[in-house]
Amino acid sequence: MQDLLYFVQQLINGLTIGSAYALIAIGYTMVYGIIGMINFAHGEVYMIGAYTALIAITGLAAFGIAWLPLVLLVALVCAVIVSSAMGWAVERVAYRPVRGRHRLIPLISAIGMSIFLQNYVHLAQGSRNMGFPLLIEGGFRFGAADSFQTSISYMQITIFITTLVCMTALSLFISRSRTGRACRAVSQDLGMSNLLGIDTNKIIAATFVIGAALAAVAGLLLGMYYGSIDPLFGFIAGLKAFTAAVLGGIGSIPGAMLGGIILGISESMTSGYLSGEYKDVVSFGLLILILLFKPTGLLGKPEVEKI
Amino acid sequence: MKTSVKKLVTGISASIALMGTGSALAEIKVGIAGPMTGPVAQYGDMQFSGARMAIERINADGGVMGEQLVAVEVDDVCDPKQAVTVANRLVNDGVRFVIGHLCSSSTQPASDIYEDEGILMVTPASTSPDITERGYELVFRTIGLDSMQGPVAANYLVSLNPERVAVIHDKQQYGEGIATAVRDTLKEAGVEVAMFEGITAGDKDFSSLVTKLRDAGVDYVYYGGYHPELGLILRQARQANLDATFMGPEGVGNKDINTIAGEAAEGLLVTLPPSFDEKAENQALVSAFKEKGEDPSGPFVLTSYAAVQLVAEGIEAAGSIDPFDVAKALRAGTFSTPIGTVEYDDKGDMESFEFVVYEWHSDGSKTPVN
């Protein structure tokens, strides 16, 4: 019984982190799906989302506003607006001018953008860790009081629900809305969509903005869940989310969700049953294995070379 | 044509070399190497403020052998790769004495360069025993060793009659070194060490680790590493209702742990060098810091001050600015510094250095417990 409770606890830990990875991974996978490029500045957009949320929360606290739903809403809205603007700016500055050139060029400009944003936050906010105030406390517990108890904190529940809502909204948007249909068209054939009168520039910018908005949500959630943020924390999270996107099949939205969850669970199970030291070894080992046997990722479609 | 180019090059390099000696006669350059930026920059602040103050006061007193000390400050971000780069920069700048580095993992590779280039190094903060284990002639420190600090922590834990203890570290030279010393001392005393495990520095999610600690039913957790990770572990442990007391080395003992962990930092046990700033004989120095608006209470402020002072007194005692002569003088002499009387053994370690166990509070203050 105790073993089962322990397993469930590690599963919950993994799902929490995994769903946040999935939120960030969407940004990588959508951009890749549409223009076939990796947005290396995406981790920084996520980090800036977390900083904006923290600044908003601190600002509200300074005005004595402590009503939780309002605080969270304001933080979320601020983070989404600033990050979306940042995602849009990254596309305008680092991608659009060099689109259509050799593949390496936008890659390098994105890495440059990432270094710039990281250092900008270093300068503007300082390099020290900043603590998030504890806003959502408490949770449910299961199991006998004298032995191991499985607990789900309200924070973890918040992360699940928010991720679920975001993912459903995104799926509906992509499958039902006009812009969503245009997105799918552009991802299938950019040149043809252009000929058919779709404003591809707008669609590409929209992709960056959607990815950035979801990353900002993840930034707020994970900042609150972990408890502290620093200017470098987008880098590691970006790497993990990128792994998740590749694992699930880059370019595929359900793939990014699945990849994130698998990565999160494999991380928590490794630290839970093996040792935290091997967490990254197992995650990246898993990635290599999947790519060896299924080079397009779990849900990725094999690419047909257009001649 | 070829010979004239050669002559020109020789001429230029000779004049550069002359310029170099020219300036070296007027002043003695002291390199200060530590993290100005990065996650542990606050320790660097302590180091720079202590060393600057020492240089200022020594210069005001007429300098060393009639020459002024000049600080050359470099930032190693507590990153081993960066440490090598800045060490080479100090070599090129003609620095012969270095106060630093701070993190053991930076001090170790940098000290190789200093030893090769004949530069004397005094680290005010690196506690890893390996640094002085290599028989280097020019490496000194003004702080104790993990092999001294670990047993102090472990013996205190033993005195609390723990049932089960977990020892966690960040896999870095400093953290793992001290955690190993703690584990070994605990085992010798017959205490059950239920877990000995590493985490990855820079990680943010410790929910799996906390679950594991809860499952192991430990009542004490020792963490070898720095505050950014321990702060998060404390906070996540509190949220998951882990009922255990945490303990850490001086690397976790600074006020930034409170901004991360908040209330969860209350009751944390920390081994620190004694509060040198509370000693009666240091009060004049403490007020000098306060006049400048600086805080002398950090663990590395006065050790850095003492490091500069030792370099200066070593030069005076040797009557030479040759680092090898100064090293000999330091090993031979007995020096009175703000961190107490300093005597060195052959390895460059202090003969004795005291560590005290403090209880940390959520407002950033601390009270000694033993």
- Per-residue pLDDT of A84-98, as tens digits, reads 999 999 999 999 998
The interface pTM score, or ipTM, of the predicted complex is: 0.88
Instruction: Indicate if the alpha-carbon torsion angle A247, A249, A254, A256 is positive or negative.
Output: positive
Q: A77 lies in a domain?
A: yes
Tell me which residue in A130, A141, A280 faces B200 most closely, judged by beta carbons: A280
pLDDT digits over B45-70, tens only? 999 999 999 999 999 999 999 899 99
Judge whether B266 is closer than 8 Å to chain A, CB to CB.
Answer: no
Q: Give the domain range for residue A213.
A: 2-129+153-233
pLDDT digits over B77-119, tens only? 999 999 999 999 999 999 999 998 999 999 999 999 999 999 9
- What type of residue is A306? K
| Across B17-32, average pLDDT | 64
Count how many residues are written for chain B.
370
Paired tokens of A303:
């690419």
Q: What pLDDT does residue B298 have?
A: 86
Q: Kindly report the average pLDDT of chain B as a whole number.
A: 89
Q: Give A148's pLDDT tier (boundaries 50, 70, 90).
A: confident
State how many domains chain A has: 1
Judge whether A14 is closer than 8 Å to chain B, CB to CB.
Answer: yes
Q: Is the Cβ pair B260, A228 closer than 8 Å? A: yes
Give the strands of the sheet with B120-123, arranged side by side. B68-75, B27-34, B97-100, B120-123, B139-141
User: Chain B partners of A236 at a C-beta cutoff of 8 Å?
Assistant: 202-204
For residue B9, pLDDT over 80 is answered with no
Q: What pLDDT does residue B3 have?
A: 53
Judge whether A122 is closer than 8 Å to chain B, CB to CB.
Answer: yes
Q: What pLDDT does residue B7 have?
A: 57
Q: Beta strands B164-169 and B192-198: pairing type?
A: parallel
Q: Give B254's pLDDT tier (boundaries 50, 70, 90).
A: confident
In chain B the domains, ranked by start, together with CATH numbers, are: 2-144+279-338 (3.40.50.2300), 147-272+356-368 (3.40.50.2300)
The better pLDDT of the pair A251, B209 is held by B209
Q: Is the Cβ pair A227, B241 closer than 8 Å? A: no
Q: A54 lies in a domain?
A: yes
The upper half-sphere exposure of residue B310, i.e. CA atoms within 13 Å in the direction of its Cβ, equals 40
Q: A200 lies in a domain?
A: yes
Judge whether A157 is closer than 8 Å to chain B, CB to CB.
Answer: no
Q: Nearest C-alpha of chain B: how many angstroms from A73?
A: 23
- Measured in whole angstroms, the distance separating CA B277 from the mean position of its chain's CA atoms is 17
Between A and B, how many CB-CB pairs are < 8 A? Answer: 108
Q: A136 lies in a domain?
A: no
Give the strands of the sheet with B245-248, arranged side by side. B192-198, B164-169, B220-224, B245-248, B269-272, B356-360, B366-368
